[in-house]
Chains A and B, each alone.
Chain A
Amino acid sequence: MNNDESQLDIASGKTRMEVAYGSGDGDDDAKAVVARKASLGVLFEQVYRPWNGDLGPRWVRNYAIFRHHVYGIFSSKGHRYYNPFVRLSILVIFLSSLTPIAMIFLSSTIPGEASEWLTRMWGINRYNLWGQVLGYYPRNLCMWPLLTALVVGGMISDDRKNGTSAIYFSRPVTRTDYTVMKFLSASTVLGFVIVFSYMLYYSTSIVFRGEGWAFLIDTLPMFLGGLFAGILLVFTYTSIGMALSSISQSRFFAAIAFLSIIFGTKLMAFLVEIVFETSILYMLSPYDSLAHIGQWLVGIPPNYDHSIAFSIVSILLYNAASIGLLVSRVSTLEVTRE
């Protein structure tokens, strides 16, 4: 586009005209500029070129679903769209989960009693390993449930609302693949924040404190106990969140329902405990059942009066019911099974 054309105001239909009776500057190369006619049609080359490649196997297709959901956290170009607020929240929660690492680093740089106090507060021990994953405040009050609600809320409800599940089911993607890969995508994001930050906490503590093999051998069993508890937490939160997402057409409903289950059951059990002095209703709370199992795995005295068996059964039932609901709802997406 030359300079004259760049001054056209096509939208208003006005053009700049420097011609006719013009005199003085620019007279020599003055010329009329007129708006070009808008195109009413388009012709395109229609040459269809067959493709002779081989389509990849099932895992390639499944990986495409996985990456679509996970990479969307970083960029929505070609991937699932996550609201910038959700991305920011995930980042803040992840950075918050790393705060003990900063404190341990600080303890390794300063001498004396302050260092000992910092190590006692944030260093590797049974209580801190348990607390990194299962501590109620701030992690299970402010961070993990909110993270789950934000990530899992729209996983299936968005497809239900927008009808985009048809995109998957008119392709060689089974409902099992669809469900498993969505579940895996959500749990990967949660796992990255919850489990990876736990592993990072343990490994950087060893590095910053300059611990040796003896420390590693001493603490590894409790680390593994906490690791298993973290994986169980991620799995359970994901399955409950996915089930709620599969029964609704609103990510908001799924998110609020998840938070209600986590906080509501705990609050109810807490009130019952105050009044009746029994902890048995904590088995209705997914968080408390996980915390109870975590205490048992890491090897710290339980906060609960009831048997660990109740908490294990509770978590098994929560997961079984959630996955059952999820499978049942996904199997009816876009389908009339009569």
Chain B
Amino acid sequence: MTTESNTPAVVIDHCSKWYGNVIGINDISLAIDGGVTGILGPNGAGKSTLFKLLMGRLKPSSGSVRLFGVDPWESTSPYRRIGYVSETEKMYDWMTGHDFVSTLARLHGMTREEANSRAEHVMDFVGLADVQHKEIGKYSKGMRQRVKIAHALVHDPDLIVLDEPLHGCDPIARTSIMSVIRDLGEQGKTVLVSSHILDEIERITEQIVILHNGRLLALGNLHAIRDLLDKHPHRILIRTDHPRDLASAFVGSKPVYGVRFSEDDALEILTNDLSEAHSILPEIIVKSGIKVHSIENPDDNLDSLLKYLVGGDS
């Protein structure tokens, strides 16, 4: 299946959604096309509302939603190119995984042979080839999640929407699913994935959308967004037996504007330019002759970013 035009997969234009007096989504505009994008935000941020708007299950109170240039509320035609994994979607437990996926492939208009062949391939792709002829009711939670991903991929969609795909999975299943998602993104598919577990999103993608109270707080590369937060300095945590001696070596260096001793064996360097600070770090440490055990960036991650953006509400 190929993209027919250059229209972005997802375009949301000044979209708002109210539930009576409660705001679900508040004047959001964004365009997403290609690669994996993580949709993040605390509970009630509007992630589910956003996905429901995308899947035509809610009508925007104002503004517009377009999938491949088509309003999903008015037409189901975009769904030919979309694979959707809902967090709560149920499956037919009496069917085997293969039968379920091939049945849904036929709902996309595939012939029996095509549906069977594709079902076999996607079940293999998500690592369920061995158990594809077992009933879904006998699958573990992680296997069920992978079946959902398989049925979302069976018609080779251009846009894949995954609502909490890692929910309830064991670590092995999580790793497998994350690997599948990364793989799809690398193949040029547009993948939207929501998760509450920030660490997992970080392992999948650096392209993120952050929502809070229905508003769009940030959109773009995780590190680029972090760099834009000038009022929250970056911290570099250096573990050493002589933090005070090392601190004196850093004082006066240009990108460093402060030091802090958070623990007995740790020195925190505060800077507004993380990359510049890292470039001078080795030289200063070597010159000081002080033994360093580890160097960490405790707030150059999604968790800190989300805390800064939503006020520690994550």
The yes or no verdict on A and B being binding partners is: yes
Contact of A48 among B106, B111, B184 (CB under 8 A): B184
A53/B89 in contact, CB under 8 A: no
A338 located at the interface, meaning its Cβ lies under 8 Å from any Cβ of chain B in the complex? yes
Contact of A335 among B58, B79, B84 (CB under 8 A): B58
Chain A neighbourhood of B88, CB < 8 A: 163
A168 located at the interface, meaning its Cβ lies under 8 Å from any Cβ of chain B in the complex? yes
| Interface-facing stretch out of A55-63, A291-299, A318-326 | A55-63
B179 located at the interface, meaning its Cβ lies under 8 Å from any Cβ of chain A in the complex? yes
Contacts A50-B1, A172-B77 given; does A338 touch B107 at CB 8 Å: no
Contact of B104 among A45, A47, A167 (CB under 8 A): A167
Contacts A166-B86, A170-B84 given; does A45 touch B124 at CB 8 Å: yes
CA distance A61 to B80 in the complex (A): 11
CA distance A168 to B108 in the complex (A): 10
A163/B89 in contact, CB under 8 A: yes
Chain B, 105-153, CB within 8 A of any chain A CB: 106-111, 114, 118, 121, 124-125, 127, 129, 153
Name which residue of chain B comes closest to A59, CB basis.
Answer: B109
B221 located at the interface, meaning its Cβ lies under 8 Å from any Cβ of chain A in the complex? no
Interface centre among B82, B99, B106, B114, by most A CB within 10 Å? Answer: B106
A44 located at the interface, meaning its Cβ lies under 8 Å from any Cβ of chain B in the complex? yes
B57/A55 in contact, CB under 8 A: no
CA distance A42 to B131 in the complex (A): 13
Closest CB in chain A relative to B95 CB, distance in Å: 6
Chain A neighbourhood of B217, CB < 8 A: none
Contacts A61-B109, A162-B90, A336-B57 given; does A172 touch B76 at CB 8 Å: yes
Q: How many A-B residue pairs have CB under 8 A?
A: 127
Chain A, 80-112, CB within 8 A of any chain B CB: 81
B213 located at the interface, meaning its Cβ lies under 8 Å from any Cβ of chain A in the complex? no
Bitwise, A45-73 to B at CB < 8 A (1) or not (0) is 11111111101111011001100100000
A51/B156 in contact, CB under 8 A: yes
CA distance A125 to B188 in the complex (A): 70
B286 located at the interface, meaning its Cβ lies under 8 Å from any Cβ of chain A in the complex? no
B104/A48 in contact, CB under 8 A: no
CA distance A131 to B209 in the complex (A): 67
Chain A neighbourhood of B95, CB < 8 A: 76-78
B90/A56 in contact, CB under 8 A: no
Name which residue of chain B comes closest to A60, CB basis.
Answer: B109
Chain B neighbourhood of A53, CB < 8 A: 110, 114
Contact of B107 among A57, A61, A81 (CB under 8 A): A61
Residues of B in contact with A (beta carbons under 8 Å apart)? 1, 18-19, 52, 55-59, 61, 76-77, 79-80, 82, 84, 86, 88-92, 94-96, 99, 102-104, 106-111, 114, 118, 121, 124-125, 127, 129, 153, 155-156, 172, 176, 179-180, 183-184, 187
16 contacts between A and B (CB under 8 A): A42-B172, A42-B176, A44-B176, A47-B125, A50-B1, A51-B114, A55-B1, A56-B109, A60-B111, A61-B106, A64-B103, A169-B56, A171-B76, A336-B57, A336-B58, A338-B61
